[in-house]
């Protein structure tokens, strides 16, 4: 499991919208009909990135020059020599966009959400930096991870600097809504770290028997590790935009469901994704023995294929080449792939439902829906 | 350079008071005459630790159980198996005491400062955890460092959890003073991380010539890395105790000077300290090629001994055994030891001066002075 990743794959967005948006997600369909999803989502992300960029650059500029250099590399703004990398490996900036759209959806100006957008982008970058150390992931966005380029100690330091700057830059925002925003961000930070702890602990647990990881436990971990920050981005936008608590809560919930949907898609790609598109080897998550959603629901479902997959995974033998191919086939036969796909669709639907619960400005809510769809807009 | 460390050495406190307190630090002398410095400082630290303990235990209890276990080990509450370690390796709790005394000194109840005390203790523990990874220090308080006991990845995670919980627990404190306290803490965090970055960068710089580290640059780094959190502890106590900005600033400054004084003493002990008392090999900082204050002012002073020391340090040869002994003697001959001692006394005097600038409650100011003296109360 590797959290959200930048990706620009051919899409299955239309079929996804048609299936998951059926109960009422018509906004997306109409936006899609006009502009095409990809184009409108890309324009949206660009607009938000442009709006946040000066404040983000300023926040990174306040770091010690050395940690600033590592941060610029992590953000895809520069190569390891510190040379600007304009064609680079910048993330999509999903979280900053969610923050801005969160404010606009509650009728405020997106600019009100900029300090929140900066904070969530910095927190996201911090978490990628430190998670790559913990997971020994050597590659991030097709480049060496920060710890690979600069060393583990410096990467720990750069993550710390980003985390500290994230909270500091939000806390320094003038205005009566800052305190609530900081509280929300801090709560998210503890949740995020707790989710990462739970994920790491899953590695030590058995594939079957009393201590085995249950799908619900996995879902709870993924909500903490991936969903909480997406929810926080929307919530910060709403808080800084002056929304009442109920609206903040609804947007936060929408983001959490979105995170769970994204994680489910990511887990499918981690096993069955096209290596040329994911940048990871085929069956990567199986080779690494990761306990991801498809495997867990396959095993939890029981049956002959599940038991055979379980025996192979628990054998301690290397899962590689043909064995990985075989385990992937068994997991699919035991319903792991379909089950995870259903989970993604359920969560996307729940995210849209949460949006509809809140009294949001129509145009911004439409844009949020476009963005939600775009995030799952990959071949899976 | 290893930051503040717990220590219980025979003292030279009386001579220190007599010399440094001369211009007006009479409070300490009278307190010392009544109780004896060590006894009164120990009682003070005990009282503050007892007062903060329940909230600190609660904050650590809110962590994920695994990170909580590592935090309990780092705090000296448990051994690596998670078994309570009551005789253990708990730190003195200087920062929590400064926070409580900061509140009492401005006429508030120490209890008002407890959320600040918890925050600074958690931040301190976070910084020890991550600094030990960056500095590859395998031992902390006579026990294996967290990364040695649990692994680097888990230690990174535990530090993150402590940092997040530090800010979260303060941010959740009800009341009108929380926002200012959070702002102060966040500013300190960015300063602290920046100081650590600067310290690590010093390692790459030459011993002489244009890029050499100047004593003023070292002082600035030490103020950021060590002084800022001591200042923050006092400042948070004052803020939560309702003091005006001027008083907060004075207490913050006192803590920063105290940190610089402590660092100077620590640097002397890092070269000339008794290994049985410091827990580090003799000449430890020289062996590790650390650019500490005694060496930097010796080299900056010039002269034959300085040039000889510089040549040995810059030679790239291993500084060990007789060579280390020889370099230590050269640094001493070039004035490095006396100069650092003078710096410690100057900074202690400046800390006391800052205290006298603020309109503090007499009894609490006396206790602060006792604590300041106690912190430098080591054979050096």
Asked if A105 and A364 count as a contact pair (C-beta separation under 8 A), the reply is: yes
pLDDT by position in tens, chain A (length 380):
344 333 322 234 333 333 333 332 222 334 344 456 777 899 999 999 999 999 999 999 999 999 999 999 999 999 887 788 766 667 889 999 999 999 999 999 999 999 999 999 999 999 999 999 999 988 888 889 999 999 999 999 999 999 999 999 999 999 999 999 999 999 999 999 999 999 999 999 999 999 999 999 999 999 999 999 999 999 999 999 999 999 999 999 999 999 999 999 999 999 999 888 777 788 989 998 999 999 999 999 999 999 999 999 999 889 988 999 999 999 999 999 999 999 999 999 999 999 998 999 999 999 999 999 988 876 56
Determine contact, residues B237/B229, Cβ cutoff 8 Å.
Answer: no
Confidence of residue B88 (pLDDT cuts 50, 70, 90): low
Q: What is the 3-state secondary structure (H, E, C) of B127-166?
A: HHHHHHHHCCCCEECCEECHHHHHCHHHHHHHHHHHHHHH
Q: Do A197 and B136 touch (CB under 8 A)?
A: no
Size of interface A-B (CB pairs under 8 A): 130
Say what the pLDDT of residue B286 is. Answer: 94
Q: Over the Cα atoms of chain B, what is R_g?
A: 20
Percent of chain B with pLDDT over 70: 88
Instruction: Measure in Å the smallest separation between the Cα of B155 and chain A Cα atoms.
Output: 9
Among chain A residues, CA nearest to B130: A156
Mark out chain B residues that contact chain A at CB-CB < 8 A.
62-64, 66-67, 130, 133-136, 152-154, 156-157, 159-161, 163-165, 167-168, 171-172, 178-179, 182-183, 186-187, 189-190, 192-194, 196-198, 200-201
Nearest CA in chain A to B189: A164
Show the tokens assigned to B136: 């590859």
CA pair distance A149, A82, nearest whole angstrom: 12
Mean pLDDT of B1-12: 34
| First-to-last C-alpha distance (Å) of chain A | 15
Q: Which residue is closest to A69 within chain B, CA to CA?
A: B197
User: Of B287, B278, B274, B268, which is closest to residue B337 (Cα–Cα)?
Assistant: B268
Nearest to A113 by CA among A124, A125, A102: A102
A contacts of B163 (beta carbons < 8 Å)? 160, 163-164
B238 phi-psi bin (left φ>0, alpha ψ -120 to 50, beta other): alpha
Tell me phi and psi for residue B77, to 5 degrees. -90, -20
**Cβ contact, residue pair B157, A200, below 8 Å:** yes
In terms of DSSP bridges, do strands A139-140 and B143-144 run parallel, antiparallel, or are they unpaired? unpaired
Domains in chain B: ranges and CATH: 22-375 (1.10.600.10)
ipTM, two decimals: 0.90
Strand ranges for A47-183 from DSSP E? 139-140, 143-144
Question: How far is the C-alpha of B340 from the C-alpha of B276, rounded, in Å?
Answer: 22
pTM of this structure:
0.90
Among B334, B338, B340, CA closest to B302 = B334
Could A159 and B161 be called an inter-chain contact, meaning their C-beta atoms sit closer than 8 Å? no
* CA distances in angstroms from B140 to A326, B66, B207, B233, B292, listed in the order given: 48, 20, 28, 22, 19
**Residue in B closest to A130 by C-alpha:** B156
State the best of A197, A202, A229 to mutate against chain B, taking most chain B CBs within 10 Å. Answer: A197
């Amino acid at each position: 499991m590797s959290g959200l990743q930048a990706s620009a794959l051919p899409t299955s967005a239309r079929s996804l919208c048609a299936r998951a948006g059926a109960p009422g997600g018509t906004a997306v369909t109409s936006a899609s009909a006009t502009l095409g999803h990809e184009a409108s989502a890309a324009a949206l992300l660009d607009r938000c990135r442009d709006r946040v960029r000066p404040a983000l650059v300023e926040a990174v500029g306040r770091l010690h020059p050395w940690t600033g250099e590592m941060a610029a590399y992590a953000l895809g703004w520069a190569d390891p020599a510190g040379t600007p990398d304009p064609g680079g490996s910048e993330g999509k900036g999903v979280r900053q966009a969610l923050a801005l759209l969160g404010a606009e959806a509650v009728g405020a100006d997106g600019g009100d959400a900029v300090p929140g957008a900066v904070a969530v982008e910095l927190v996201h970058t911090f978490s990628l930096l430190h998670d790559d150390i913990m997971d020994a992931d050597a590659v991030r966005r097709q480049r060496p991870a920060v710890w690979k380029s600069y060393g583990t100690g410096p990467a720990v330091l750069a993550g710390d600097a980003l985390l500290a700057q994230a909270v500091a830059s939000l806390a320094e925002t003038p205005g009566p809504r800052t305190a609530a925003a900081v509280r929300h961000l801090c709560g998210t930070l503890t949740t995020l770290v707790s989710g990462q702890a739970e994920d790491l602990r899953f590695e030590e647990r058995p594939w079957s028997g009393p201590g085995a990881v249950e799908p619900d436990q996995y879902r709870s971990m993924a909500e903490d590790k991936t969903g909480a920050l997406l929810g926080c981005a929307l919530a910060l936008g709403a808080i800084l935009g002056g929304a009442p608590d109920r609206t903040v809560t609804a947007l936060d919930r929408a983001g959490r469901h979105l995170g769970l949907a994204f994680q489910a898609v990511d887990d499918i790609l981690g096993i069955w994704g096209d290596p040329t598109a994911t940048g990871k080897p085929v069956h990567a998550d199986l080779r690494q023995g990761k306990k991801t959603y498809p495997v867990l629901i396959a095993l939890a479902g029981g049956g002959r294929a599940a038991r055979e997959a379980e025996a192979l995974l628990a054998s301690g033998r290397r899962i590689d080449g043909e064995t990985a191919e075989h385990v992937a086939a068994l997991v699919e036969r035991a319903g792991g792939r379909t089950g995870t796909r259903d989970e993604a669709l359920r969560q996307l639907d729940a995210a849209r439902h949460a949006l509809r619960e809140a009294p949001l400005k129509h145009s911004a809510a439409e844009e949020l829906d476009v963005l939600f769809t775009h995030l799952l807009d990959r071949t899976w």
